[in-house]
Structure 1
């Protein structure tokens, strides 16, 4: 494909899922917003429409989904494990996927999610505004993420935000020069890089499952 003239994007789906592809049928990304689950982006394909750069529901962390957001605890309510292990204090997610906007090689969409305590109390509203811009040999996926409190909030625990679940283990390169990560961290290289330093950017290298060629994600 001529990288200077990317094909127009086509968005298809329903009220709970959107698939973004080139008019040439090359898949790029899928947004899912299933009731009672956190919204997430998966699969994320390579710029050529081949391979898979994300993983969904790994056996060892079944609450992880491709590219997603989360917080460990809010006012004592768990918003990390998505209730999959039956935590007594786990809250619930209630996403609403809005209609997308497509202009040529750019598509944008918005997901608004109510985060509630187990008894139904509305704690906060999350808004994710995504924009995918196809540039041929690569594409840009931008996120504007905001949280609006419904009550006074205490954000607890030492981690959270927008994690990235890669399809396979990989290496991390940051603006501070970090390199390979140990075997225990390979399943989540973004976390390893975050712990290592406060880098302004990170590049994650891995091998999509099909075909097994290197894939690169810059954050």
Structure 2
């Protein structure tokens, strides 16, 4: 019997390791309102020990959907959800500019390799296709000393589907301090906290850290130890290569690929990104987690 299972339910996938479901990849959820930008997501996301580490549509940010990949701005469109940031004076304003990130078709589901690939269209608020995406995930078991965990890699290629240049931006470009969120992003379960954070093996004390790897020595709301590692892989357009996080008043962490200046794609141009997330029950030495995450 294989250690990996990718079980299809209509267009969604159930991700299984050693007969334990570690996540549900939802690509077609019609319960998400337009203002919250429908998008593929993984939730609930679990450790091998069964602890749920992701949150979905919390009341403070109902557009946060577990583990998701999205951008606050693509051209003139909100591809994140919620209000659009218009600068320090106006702040966030709810406007009719929300697009959707829509699953189109599966091109590969390979349980033996733990790999699944699909085509995705990023549609603007008027239905115009902005980006064409090919997104591949690969799931596998990993081990640190005597502790087993999982590693999920996401490789994506985004292609400008318009005949004009497209800017991929964040609220940071409009003046919001530490507002460079956008990219692969994990909304943690309610009450999740960080006992310690390290970036490339060094202590981290502020969001926006420049690093290849961020390791979170976390605690669930009930006090159980969970270690989460995030790793920046190779990219054709590396952007800022930063990490953004919050744990108070709500917990989240993500790859800030457009933190500093945003990203620019010429008409027809493509951009490739590669990221990894590893998760273990318990408090794991961050140096060992970094070793697991390095390709």
TM-score with structure 1 setting the length: 0.78
Unpaired stretches in structure 1, ≥5 consecutive residues: 1-5, 182-191
Shift of 1:212: 4.3
Shift of 1:207: 2.6
What is the CA–CA distance in structure 1 between the aligned matches of 2:94 and 2:11, rounded to whole Å? 24
Shift of 1:93: 2.1
What is the CA–CA distance in structure 2 between the aligned matches of 1:212 and 1:80, rounded to whole Å? 31
Task: Find the counterpart in structure 2 of residue 15 from structure 1.
Answer: 10
CA pair 35-51 structure 1, distance change in 2 beyond 3 A? closer
Answer yes or no: is the 8 Å Cα contact 2:48–2:149 preserved in 1. Answer: yes
- Matched residue SS, 1:96: strand
1:101 aligns to 2:110 (yes or no): yes
Shift of 1:111: 3.0
Structure with the higher strand share, 1 or 2: 2
What CA deviation, in whole Å up to 9, does each residue of 1:142-185 have, x standing for no partner?
1102211111212233331111212223242212623456xxxx
Task: Find the counterpart in structure 1 of residue 210 from structure 2.
Answer: 198
RMSD value, Cα: 2.5
Task: Find the counterpart in structure 1 of residue 120 from structure 2.
Answer: 113
Task: Find the counterpart in structure 1 of residue 185 from structure 2.
Answer: 163
Shift of 1:61: 1.0
Shift of 1:79: 0.5
Shift of 1:114: 0.8
What is the CA–CA distance in structure 2 between the aligned matches of 1:16 and 1:204, rounded to whole Å? 32
Task: Find the counterpart in structure 2 of residue 60 from structure 1.
Answer: 60
1:173 aligns to 2:173 (yes or no): no
Answer yes or no: is the 8 Å Cα contact 2:71–2:80 preserved in 1. Answer: yes
Unpaired stretches in structure 2, ≥5 consecutive residues: 31-37, 84-92, 173-179, 231-295
Answer yes or no: is the 8 Å Cα contact 1:33–1:96 preserved in 2. Answer: no
Answer yes or no: is the 8 Å Cα contact 1:35–1:93 preserved in 2. Answer: no
Give 1:3-152 correspondences, 5 Å limit.
8-23=3-18, 25-34=19-28, 37-48=38-49, 50-81=50-81, 87-98=95-106, 99-103=108-112, 106-135=113-142, 137-151=148-162, 152=164
CA pair 57-73 structure 1, distance change in 2 beyond 3 A? same
- Matched residue SS, 2:202: coil
What CA deviation, in whole Å up to 9, does each residue of 1:3-47 have, x standing for no partner?
xxx952222232331111135x31122211015621112222112
Task: Find the counterpart in structure 1 of residue 167 from structure 2.
Answer: 154
Task: Find the counterpart in structure 2 of residue 3 from structure 1.
Answer: none
- Matched residue SS, 1:43: coil
4+ residue runs over 6 A deviation:
none
